[in-house]
Every structure is written in structure tokens, then in C-alpha cells.
A and B are shown apart, each in its own frame.
Chain A
């Protein structure tokens, strides 16, 4: 059973614990500038929104790569960058419709979320469960449950 990151922006406080956990695992430093997951602040609306790669099935980045440096990870469903194969051509960054694969000037290769090989640090670091790692087939389950409770006249927060 594959799992996926489930993001619930309404729970996010913008603290960037996820960005630090991500960059620390990937780069060995606490560095939001190198995080694979990003928190966007919409100041005027007072909203914080985490965003990262959703691991497309037909991944544009993977298909666009001319040197097959982005590969499908069967164990996790993630599309992983092979840094030693990547030539830094950046075609994948153009191909990705969501902007979640990016180039790193320091290393000369691209980087993206690889679900930490099935144990995502961002979800473990999040203090408010705005980022959770759940059954990939049921990322909507909590919201369905809340609406189901509401439709039955129950207090959604209690269920």
C-alpha cells in the first residue's frame, strides 16, 4: 500500500518546522532555502499553505528528463532524482506544472521531494498535523468523515 502526504492548510501555523526537518535530512543543515516542501504565507488573508511534490503517476518531470535521472521508486511511489545522473539541464523544472522540482545552484543538479524514502520528516516535524502521511488512496478520508458527521447532525470536531 502506497502512502501519500496529506496537506491540510487550515491547520498550518507557518512555523517552518517541516522546512527545517526536510533540509536537515536532505542537506545536513537547517536551511529553509533548501527545503523540498515550502510554506507559502498569504499575509493579507492570514493563511499559511504547505506545498510540495504530489508524486504524479505520469510524472512530467520524469518523462521530460533526457538522461533518465528521475526514476520511479516502487516502494514509495515517489519520483526520485538520481543526483549523480542529473546533468542540471533543468528541463524537468520547466515540465513540472506545479513548480515542485527545482535547481540548486550550489550542487548543479535538481532536487525534489522523495518522501524521505517512505518516512517523511516533514510530517513527523509538523506540530499541528497539517502534514500527515496516509494511505495514498484515501487522502480525502478525514474530510469525508467530517462531512459525514455533519450530514448526520453530529459535531464534526468530536468525530
Chain B
């Protein structure tokens, strides 16, 4: 039945470690991973708790298809209350750690309390130990990863760890696994740090079996792989260019957030695009991109493995950055590049390496830097604040230097670790923070892609593209083309994407499969693996249940309809160039209808009928 049906519960305060059975009643309602762990979280913590206090919990969770041969079935998520947003956080990561955790025999690991001493978890199948981490406190992700492998003398261990930024209180630190895959958003790494938990090291040799109908499962897996292979996006575009396939496309449609979202097109986009990563550079004739790479079980392989030009100023005399590592993906390239006005591919790659090395979210970081640059240019912050750094748009040296400080939590990097909302408030310009619920926007300007504006405003973890990627429909025509500049039909479209994505995120699969797969491709794989009846309709119902549960968590945490909005810049300042010229995001034309199709009141609260439909109850705060 694909779940291992085992949960590992670790109380960091007293060091106790217990095994308990997975709540299968909840698994039938929430499937796994994002949904199921959110159910555990809402049952076990007060939504009003201090996200960085011992009452918050930190859950690492897999889905039923994690660790199986389903293409992309290697995902795990971290679910907790976010210190950046105060909302429920679910950050999803690929790489190999999730499958290793499943192969060790665990659906979920729940960390509670706070350890009195720095520790890391060593998990070898049934054997779980909390070991002292004093020697790796204050070290980077990469150093901690190496130390753990050496200490246990086992190259096959998979490691998830936090870097120095999280330890220094950076509010958007992620958990990095396998050196450069990230549960990146919403500060889940900061929560890990608050628990004095430096790393999780896993070796799993039990494997994943217990498939309900093995023959049907293998056929469904095989059918699914063929669909991914034959699709132009998942079979060609993503393997060749990675998510960076979007850089030029999004720029052309006038939805490329530029210079803190003052503009919607970036003149330097082609220099930092997926295509540019293939171009041989002048110095050594090699391209930035070494190869593409797959996460566990993934037959798409969109991952980028890159090198930096050894003669580039950022890495001159720093041979530790000359080797290949995880390169630029679209979200990082946009946030670090277009939003800061920097089109230096090597500088961006160096900064991407740093973000991985010390575990910060490049989206929030890049957008925070963009806000800081705007404040610097208007005089709200000066060189005294930045420590002498000329923080102007387009300054690649400043980007590199500030990133080093932010990753290490030093100097102006401490301010930068606040994220843009708190930083802009601190320096008197809250209107310059491009955030929803405290989390920074991803790479699609909602003036040029109207549905995304509604998606951002209503996303349960703050601004996010991965909670409902209507770009697929509005720009790419998947599953069918809608006009990006109209608001008609967008409430229904946003809801459909949000519900579908919540189900996919709960299965153990990667949401990128949905460029090619619909639930008609996914449901047969889940249905053959898991007990119960998993039709596309059932999955949509599960997705909608998850969405409402997350919403109820946020309401209980203190969010209201007032938080379902966008910064004034996107609602009042029209796009100046491109196809969306003259447009703002018309959120007010979409939001009331969205609440209606969700079965929520005009104040954005699920009605009692809606809650009843999904077996939910209002969460007492």
C-alpha cells in the first residue's frame, strides 16, 4: 500500500525517540506528504504559537509514491509554521533524501521541542540516534555534509542540513539536502535551527515495497514515463534548458519582474537565460552548463549542474568554487538577476552556489536585495548601513558581497536576513516590499499574468508559484490556453490548479510532471500503489480538503481576508512595456468570485457547509 505506515517521533527537549503507526484514517483523507503532515501539524500545534519557539513542530514527510519507481517519485517536504509568514509552511524538495527516508522505513519524522545541545539525527533503518553536533555548528551545509560522511565512513548516507544563515536567524533559510536540493521557501531551515537540530543523516536499505497491485503499478509507471518522454516540455525543453527555458519566454510576454518589480521586462534576460548557459564562454571555451541531472527516479532531469568561469571576479583565487555544482534555475536566475538588474551569468551562478552552500532561499533573498537596492537608490539606506557597499541596481560586485554577508549572517547580511517586509519596515518604506503575507514573489509579474495575481494573493504560504501554477495555462496553454491578460474565468482556474497541486504535492511526485501529466495519468499510479480508490475526482477532493485545512490553520493563526492582497505597486502602477502595457493586476475583479467558488464567506472564511463537506472543523486558536 506504498505507505510504510510508520512515524518516527523525536522529542528534542528530552531526547526521547518513539515509533508510532501512521494514522491511516488521515492518510485516506490527506494522502501523504503536504496534506497529511499539515493534518498532523494542525492537530498538534497551536496555530498562534511562536514559530521559532519549542511549541512549533518540524515535520519531514514523504508521500506514498516517494521511493517508488514512479517518475519523479523522490520528493519529501518539510511542514511547519513559518517564521517568515506566520502561515503554515510546506517546502518541497527533490534530490535523494526523501527516497532514502522512505527506504529506511519511515513515512514521516516529527521533531518536537528544542534540544538543549546542538544535535543531528542519524537514522539507519530502524536505528535512530541524536548525536552531538557541536563540531559542525557554525559551518556551512557543504562542510557539515562532508563532516557527517567522514564521521560515519559511509558515502551512501543522504544528508539534509542547515547552513550558517539559519543558525544566525535568517528568516528565509532553507533545509538543503544532497548539497544543492532545497526545501527552500518560508524559512523552514530557520525553524530547524531554532530546535538546535543541525542535520538529518539517513541510510535506508529496506527499500519500498508493499505495492497494492504490482503489475498494474509497473504498467502505470511505464505509461507515465512515456507521456513525459513524448511531451515537448518534459521530454525536451526541461532536460535541455531546465526551468530556465522560461527566461526568454516570460520576458517576451512582459511578465518578468524587474528591478524590484518596477518594470516587467529585463533588457539583460537573454544573457542569463537557459540558452546562455549553453553558450561556450570566451575564457575556456566551456559552457556554464556541464550537464542536466535527475533527482531520484526522475525521467525529466531538469536539474542544472554548472561551473563558474575560473577567471570571473567572483571566484578568482577561490578554487573551492571552481568545481561543478547545482546551477541556476529560473526562479533563482530571475530573483538574483532580473530583479536586481544584473545580467552577469557567472556572478549569478556564484551567488546560487552560495545560496546552496549556506541554505538560503534565492527567491526571497534576491527580492529582498532588490528592495534594499531601491531603498539605497532613493537614499533610505546609505553606505554606513551597507558597510560601504554601493548597493545599486546592476552592481554585480555588490550582489556577490552582500550574498556572502547574508549567507554568513555578518554585517549588513543580518539586516538582509530579515526578508523584504521587515527590512522595508525597518527603513521606513513598507510599500517597497514585494510580498504577500510576508513572502516574496516568484518570477511572474501578475500584471502580465492576471491569474497568478489571484494565486499569489490567496496562496496559503504567501506569494508562491508552486501553489497554483496558472502560468501553465495562461502562457503555455497547458492543459488549455487562457488569455493571460483577462480576469474572466481565473477564479475557477486558480482554484483548479491549487487543488490539483495540493494533491500532487501529497503524493511524493514532482509538480513539474503536470506540464505533461494530468490527474488521469497520476491517479492510476497512486491507485495501483495505495489501498483505497484513488480516482482523479478523489484526488481533487483531497486537494481541496488540504487547501481548506491550510486556510483554516492560517485563519486560526490570525490571517484575515485583508492579507489576501498584493502590494500597491502591482495594483496601481501599470506595466510600462510589453504586451501588458497599461495593465495593473485586477485582483478586485477576481477575489470575491474566488471566495465564492471556494465555498467561503465574503470574508474569506470557509462556510460551515464547506467545512462539513471535507470533514473539517474550525480550528480553535
Contacts and interface: CB of A to CB of B under 8 A. Distances in A.
Given A15-B301, A24-B69, A45-B324, A127 B205 contact: no
A83 interface: no
B299 A43 contact: no
Contact of B69 (A27, A28, A34, A125): A125
Contact of A15 (B206, B218, B299): B299
Given A29-B208, A43-B179, A127-B229, A13 B294 contact: yes
Contacts of A125: 69
A52 interface: no
A34 B156 CA distance: 13
B297 A16 contact: yes
B164 to A, nearest CB: 21
Contacts of B290: 45-46
Given A17-B69, A127-B225, A46 B208 contact: no
Interface in B194-243: 204-209, 218, 225, 229, 239
Interface in A12-49: 13-17, 20-21, 23-24, 27-34, 43-48
A16 B303 CA distance: 14
A17 B226 CA distance: 14
Q: Which of B71, B156, B239, B293 has the most CB of A within 10 A?
A: B293
A20 B69 contact: yes
Given A15-B299, A29-B207, A30-B208, A21 B103 contact: no
B223 to A, nearest CB: 14
B384 interface: no
A46 B307 contact: yes
Interface string B274-301: 0000000000000000111111111101
Contacts of A34: 205, 207
B340 interface: no
B299 A127 contact: yes
A61 B450 CA distance: 65
Nearest to A44: B323
B260 interface: no
Nearest to B208: A30
B503 to A, nearest CB: 22
B206 A17 contact: no
Contacts of B298: 13, 15
A30 B323 contact: no
Contact of B207 (A13, A17, A21, A33): A33
B326 to A, nearest CB: 9
A15 B301 CA distance: 7
Contacts of A28: 209
A30 B229 contact: no
B204, B207, B303 — most chain A CB neighbours (10 Å): B207
A11 B263 CA distance: 40
Given A28-B209, A43-B324, A46-B324, A33 B299 contact: no
A88 B169 CA distance: 53
A131 to B, nearest CB: 13
Nearest to B179: A43
**Interface residue tally on B, bucketed by range:** 35 or more
B228 to A, nearest CB: 8
B305 A46 contact: yes
B77 interface: no
B559 to A, nearest CB: 39
Contacts of B179: 43
Nearest to A40: B155
B299 A32 contact: no
B67 interface: yes
B444 to A, nearest CB: 27
Contacts of B68: 20, 30
Contacts of B42: none
Interface in B129-174: 156
Contacts of B306: 46
A45 B306 CA distance: 9
A134 B382 CA distance: 67
Nearest to A11: B291
A44 B69 contact: no
Contacts of A127: 71, 225, 229, 299, 301
B293 A14 contact: yes
B169 to A, nearest CB: 30
Contact of A43 (B209, B294, B303, B325): B325
A20 B298 CA distance: 12
A51 B298 CA distance: 19
A31 B208 CA distance: 6
A29 B209 contact: yes
Given A15-B295, A30-B207, A45 B323 contact: yes
Contacts of B294: 13-16
Contact of A31 (B103, B229, B292, B305): B103
Interface in B298-351: 298-299, 301, 303, 305-307, 323-325
A20 B207 CA distance: 9
A62 to B, nearest CB: 27
Nearest to B235: A127
Nearest to B204: A33
A29 to B, nearest CB: 3
Contacts of A46: 290-291, 293, 305-307, 324-325
A127 B290 CA distance: 19
Contacts of B296: 15-16
A66 B323 CA distance: 46
A24 B214 CA distance: 10
Give the interface centre of A15, A33, A45 by most chain B CB atoms within 10 Å: A15
Nearest to A125: B69
A33 to B, nearest CB: 4
A17 B301 CA distance: 12
B205 to A, nearest CB: 4
Interface string B55-93: 000000000000111010000000000000000000000
A29 B305 CA distance: 30
B205 A31 contact: yes
A125 B324 CA distance: 27
A13 B297 contact: no
Contacts of B229: 127
Given A13-B294, A15-B295, A20-B297, A27 B324 contact: no
Nearest to A10: B291
Given A14-B293, A20-B68, A127-B71, 9 more contacts: A15-B298, A28-B209, A29-B207, A32-B99, A33-B207, A43-B323, A43-B325, A46-B306, A127-B229
5 contacts: A13-B239, A20-B297, A30-B69, A31-B206, A34-B205
* Closest A-B pairs by Cβ, 5 of them: A31-B207, A15-B294, A46-B324, A29-B207, A46-B290
